[in-house]
Chain A
Amino acid sequence: MSIRFPSLEFFRALQQRAKDDADVFEKLGVCDTTFGIRVGDDLYRIAFEVYECTEVDETNDPASLDFVLTAPVQLWKEMFASVLANGGADAAHTINTLTHVGDVMKVEYEDPEGHDRLYRFMATIQEFLDEAQHLDVELG
């Protein structure tokens, strides 16, 4: 049965996939950050501790997050379509590429220390989103 994107269920499915692929995340190393993914008006809270994605929930408190990746629904759909089609984000749809120039996807943060965590743990965060390749996703 397919999982609708965007939805809390989708991000929880990513969390489960990350648990199923624990070896991959352990190889990448410890990751300690709580960040947000804003899809349109919805904000999802993703927490990583040690090697594991420990929490996925909805929130309306961006101040509690190290950073928030913010983009319109359509851009997230385009990014996950790339993940599904290519077995991971293609060159035009990695998180760094989308956030680097032109504010296509915005990185919102209050504390530059929190902002730097995006880069300290970039490979883990990218791997987490790339886990969507293993899901049956309905992008609408």
Chain B
Amino acid sequence: MSYYGSTDYLANDDFVLRMKDIRKGNLDLGWMKAGTEQVEIHAENKKRGLTYLDLNKGSYGYDDLEEVPRGPRGIAPRGASYDVADQADMGPELNRKSDVWAYKVASFYEETLSRQWDATTDIPWRDLDKYEVPLEVEIAFAQLCTMLTEVEMVATDLPAKWCWRMNNQFHEVKGFLAGQAMDEARHAEVFRKRALAGGVGLMQGSPQAEHSLKAILDCDTYSEASAFMHLLAEGNILTMFRFSEFISPTALDKRMFQLVMQDEARHVSYGLQHLKWIVDQAPERREQLHAALDEAENFSLKQFDSALFEAMIVLAGKGTSPEQIKKGVEIVGTLQIKQVEEYFQRLQRAGFGERIERSKFRDLLAAISLKQQDPALPA
């Protein structure tokens, strides 16, 4: 315990007397005159239900929330009355709307809740025995699941790390991040379950990926972390989930990747919209984000450690014969090109297209002989 109250309430006569008075029925009822705004609220779409978007009105809404909502550093919900002097200072570090906000974040929150699924019951685990998968393919799949479990554990930690540092005026963002933490925890769960249920168990940890993941967790600001994780890393993982669905040896695995893909795409969309918000509302922070992405891209270059890279080749080629490896190398090369191209497209969409000229990825594909020239720039 490090936060001690300034008053011992059992020794405070005023407090004790007031409690006794209330128990006698002498109510003050001053709290009933909080003077807060009354607004007419109803669900715009009855099937959808009452959403945060429906609450976006007046002092309760987020459209009118200022870039710096001065005053509230405690937990008084947006729109409630409060006295700054009486509030506990929760010490939020992210107090500017542009630190955290994203276009459409309330919609992303609603989508997060609506599209939750259950790794225990929504994957037809009992069907796993129906499929005969070559042992080397199953081992490669277990290696992929091992690496993805590591990724998802950090992806769980990161939103949790930043969520409590945000001013409570930004509760839509905090809700979205809480949902993301749940998504990522479920992903770690499902990949762990899959590796073990397949009979092989977990394989090697991926130290190179771990260094990249640590770099995400250690970003100096939330926006840097978001650009690294939501836009770049999760964009890469989204493409990898698509690849994994493509090469999945069983229908069960395809279902698993379809479901994780949906969550990941939502996180990427939030990252794009947060970057766009910064570009539009705080353009002075462009260089800071460029510097962060310089390093993020550098770390991302080495995320494919040899165990993962080889496992993906075995999965894509469906085996380890020379012909299968040749086919696997071609398919994995396609994946890496897609990752870079889709990242560039998202940068462009966020209004951050100048990043493409500076990106380390321009040279990557040529360096690893995947493509003789730069990936095509988005129109």
Q: Give CA–CA (A94, B250) in the complex, Å.
A: 12
Q: Which of A101, A112, A126 contacts B246 (CB 8 A)?
A: A101
Nearest residue, chain A, Cβ from B49: A50
Q: Give CA–CA (A70, B130) in the complex, Å.
A: 33
Give 1 or 0 for each of A95-123: 1 = CB within 8 Å of chain B CB: 01100111000000001110111011111
Q: Give CA–CA (A112, B115) in the complex, Å.
A: 21
Q: Give CA–CA (A94, B249) in the complex, Å.
A: 13
Nearest residue, chain B, Cβ from A31: B115
Chain B interface residue count, CB cutoff 8 Å, equals 37
Is B345 on the interface with A (CB-CB < 8 A)?
Answer: yes
Q: List, in ascending order, chain A residues with CB within 8 A of B242's CB.
A: 96, 100, 119
A125 to chain B, nearest CB (A): 9
Nearest residue, chain A, Cβ from B255: A123
Q: Give CA–CA (A27, B54) in the complex, Å.
A: 22
Is A29 on the interface with B (CB-CB < 8 A)?
Answer: yes
Q: Give CA–CA (A112, B238) in the complex, Å.
A: 13
Q: Are B268 and A116 in contact (CB under 8 A)?
A: yes
Nearest residue, chain A, Cβ from B272: A113
A30 with B349, Cβ < 8 A, contacts A50-B45, A116-B268 known: no
Q: Give CA–CA (A56, B252) in the complex, Å.
A: 30
Q: Are A96 and B269 in contact (CB under 8 A)?
A: no
Of residues 244 to 259 in B, which have CB atoms within 8 Å of A's CB atoms?
245-246, 248-251, 254, 257-259
Give 1 or 0 for each of A31-51: 1 = CB within 8 Å of chain B CB: 010000000000000000111
Q: List, in ascending order, chain A residues with CB within 8 A of B126's CB.
A: none
Q: Are B262 and A90 in contact (CB under 8 A)?
A: no
Q: Are A94 and B245 in contact (CB under 8 A)?
A: yes
Q: List, in ascending order, chain A residues with CB within 8 A of B114's CB.
A: 29-30
Give 1 or 0 for each of B164-184: 1 = CB within 8 Å of chain A CB: 000000000000000000000
Is A52 on the interface with B (CB-CB < 8 A)?
Answer: yes
Q: Which of B243, B248, B259, B269 contacts A116 (CB 8 A)?
A: B269
A19 to chain B, nearest CB (A): 12
Q: Give CA–CA (A117, B269) in the complex, Å.
A: 9
A112 with B345, Cβ < 8 A, contacts A29-B115, A30-B110, A123-B259 known: yes
Q: Are A91 and B349 in contact (CB under 8 A)?
A: no
A30 with B111, Cβ < 8 A, contacts A100-B245, A123-B262 known: yes
- 11 A-B pairs in the complex with CB atoms less than 8 angstroms apart: A30-B114, A50-B47, A90-B251, A91-B249, A94-B254, A97-B246, A100-B242, A119-B264, A119-B265, A120-B266, A122-B265
List the 7 shortest-distance A-B pairs measured between CB atoms, nearest first. A29-B115, A119-B265, A29-B114, A100-B246, A30-B114, A112-B345, A120-B265
Residues of A within 8 A of B (CB): 28-30, 32, 49-52, 90-91, 94, 96-97, 100-102, 111-113, 115-117, 119-123, 126
Residues of B within 8 A of A (CB): 45, 47-48, 110-111, 114-116, 238, 242-243, 245-246, 248-251, 254, 257-259, 261-262, 264-266, 268-269, 272, 331, 334, 342, 345-346, 348-349, 378
